[in-house]
Chain A
């Protein structure tokens, strides 16, 4: 019924979708799984009309909308989405939010109609939900917002309902409500509506979908009936082909000297330890508490730490400053002489780190934005490494950095670690874990596994990332 043929989408140099074919029949529930950055969300945005594909074709039955495909048309054709970032208006009530997606709810009495519509659907999907339609969305807890959003996607007025895309629908729901929505998906598909279920919870994908599509690196790599998959075969399909990691010589065992330690959180039994001279990785799916861990660490021992941001633009560089100033900002305390900054010492520090990090500029007084993204990131590394910090925190710092720069920085990290510095490195790129001595895998805000360098295979990390309570 709905078909995608060879859909491609590029963001700059990044090929997010690389020729995806996907078809969804009426009344079918298709599970879509894949690692972070596999292209699932991009694909769903293309389906929903909120992103235009760079190439490829979408067809609905016999209709081929081509370039006319957009969000408004997707709505008319009966495609609804529940995206990860909630698309409710927080300043409106539940009933008013229902009105936003239904143009026909207008004129006298629209509010009564809208209230009845959304309340009926909430009652149907989530019996005992405890939500009042006059509640302002901002006043609802995150789980209830997600319930409203899901219920709204299934409401029908004048337009048909063909396909509902659920992107991580249960991420903020407790076990009971999650079971309610999954049960409702089965009822709804029995009535002929199609559902795409995007989820990292393999258990719910396996139990709910008719068919499962696995994506990897912007392509679909497996597409089979759900019964032909097991949890293990799904994980295997999601992982990249077994890349042979350059076996690093095991660093000579050092006398472990604890640099920092965090006691386990409630509900978790694992403590976090980083030893002096160690590179500790924080792995797992994006947004499962790794950044929070870094911020927590930073909050406790700010004076001896330096933080390397991954999101350069928003929390890394000072846009209006020179390259040199961007490097020296973390070290100004040590460069003071009689309360003022010693300019000669500052210039010397700036130039020596420009040379050490091979930052490609002829003058450190140039504005930071004259550098390419990779070189800006090198300047941020220089800022942290030139400081007196004993522990360096890295928040997925290699995002959007080219391979050459990465290799240079990896080498620098190993060298500095050998000299006794501690690195705590959150990364979403599996290959980078090869440079770590140890890694903690995060899931739902706490540590789910600790892996030593010889256990750091992609499969093990994935297994730990998806370690859910056996239902």
Chain B
């Protein structure tokens, strides 16, 4: 039986299919290994940032510092990680720990995550500008090699996206601890009554967010080959939009790793699609917003029908 829940879950896939078909229609030459590779390569860092954001949204918070954080990771990797790999790795680990600490702070002091992370976005940006006042630095060779891998038959970005989704799906949707993490978003009181530590859950989820944020910064640097503090400023909104496009909800612990990755792919594709339509870059953000609103309106319609039933 096809319930509305299934329709809701299928919506991200349908949106991706529509955008993909529209792109193929406008520019048939993209329907090739090379075309897909080129169009989707930036989907990898966006997908990773979206997954990072999803971990925060799972526990009913929102991370407004994701973009600058990804930019900061890029700046560190293009300088410190390149020159002193050991110190570079340590600093990146420190950043992940910092994310965990932020989770603890937000939970213990009961602060609104939006305010805390909005403030942090300036901190991350500031450090990044201090490290790299003007665009520059260089991506480590191995990073460029990973991001430039040419796989047979299926383009690398698609394989990477599927691998990310599968890994996170296993961790968050199928593992027994993932249940606790999502339950914390659904009914935190019930979780603490059952003897689970909310603090630990939040710290874990924020640390995962930091981890995937670092991966996003690294993969982006592997593509751009040089760093810029501002390169990922749009990622904050991309990551949130990706989660929501993918069927996630802001509160209630309802998330979907496959959906989030699909959402990120849709956003990346929508960018290419709008370029093929020769829409000026000035209008692109607006056009992407319009796509987002259409998908959300569809979902709201489906959900409303559900409640009505």
Contact = CB atoms under 8 A, between A and B. Distances in A.
A53 to B, nearest CB: 17
Interface residues of A, number: 25
Given A106-B176, A106-B177, A110-B176, A87 B193 contact: yes
A91 B254 contact: yes
Scoring A90, A92, A100, A111 by chain B CB atoms within 10 A of each residue's CB, the highest score goes to A100
Interface in A108-145: 110-111, 136, 139
Contacts of B196: 100
B176 A99 contact: yes
A71 B196 CA distance: 9
Interface in A62-80: 71-72, 75
A27 to B, nearest CB: 25
B253 interface: yes
B190 A87 contact: yes
Given A89-B182, A89-B186, A92-B186, A105 B176 contact: yes
A48 B182 contact: no
Given A99-B179, A105-B176, A106-B177, A89 B187 contact: yes
Contacts, number: 65
Contacts of B192: 71
Interface of A: 48, 50, 71-72, 75, 81, 87-92, 96-97, 99-101, 103, 105-107, 110-111, 136, 139
A87 B186 CA distance: 10
B82 interface: no
Contacts of A90: 186-187, 252
Nearest to A139: B5
Interface in B100-126: none
Per DSSP, are chain B's interface residues mostly helix, strand or loop, or mixed? helix
A396 to B, nearest CB: 24
Nearest to A50: B193
Nearest to A95: B179
Contacts of B185: 91
A91 B253 CA distance: 6
A100 B190 contact: yes
B97 interface: no
Interface in B221-244: none
Contact of B183 (A89, A106, A107): A89
B164 interface: no
Contacts of B191: 89, 100
Would you list the 3 A-B pairs with minimal beta carbon distance, nearest first? A89-B186, A72-B195, A87-B190
Contacts of B5: 136, 139
B141 interface: no
A105 B176 CA distance: 7
B253 A71 contact: no
B180 interface: yes
A71 B190 CA distance: 11
Given A106-B176, A136-B5, A88 B193 contact: no
Given A90-B187, A111-B174, 19 more contacts: A50-B193, A71-B194, A72-B195, A75-B195, A88-B190, A89-B183, A89-B186, A89-B187, A89-B190, A89-B253, A91-B185, A91-B186, A92-B183, A92-B186, A99-B180, A100-B196, A107-B176, A111-B176, A136-B5
Given A91-B254, A111-B174, A96 B190 contact: no
A139 B195 CA distance: 26
Nearest to B5: A139
Nearest to B306: A139
Contacts of A101: 194
A100 B193 CA distance: 10
A88 B187 contact: yes
Contacts of A136: 5
Nearest to B195: A72
B189 interface: yes
A136 B190 CA distance: 16
A88 B186 CA distance: 9
5 contacts: A72-B195, A75-B194, A89-B253, A92-B179, A100-B191
A91 B252 contact: yes
Contacts of B186: 89-92
B189 A87 contact: yes
Contacts of A96: 179, 182-183
Contacts of A75: 194-195
Interface string B135-148: 00000000000000
Interface string B148-188: 00000000000000000000000000101101101101110
B180 A100 contact: yes
B174 A87 contact: no
Contacts of B179: 92, 96, 99-100
Scoring B182, B185, B186 by chain A CB atoms within 10 A of each residue's CB, the highest score goes to B186
B201 to A, nearest CB: 12
Contacts of A99: 176, 179-180
A151 to B, nearest CB: 15
A75 B195 CA distance: 7
Nearest to B251: A91
Given A88-B187, A106-B177, A111-B174, A71 B182 contact: no
Given A50-B193, A72-B195, A92-B182, A87 B176 contact: no
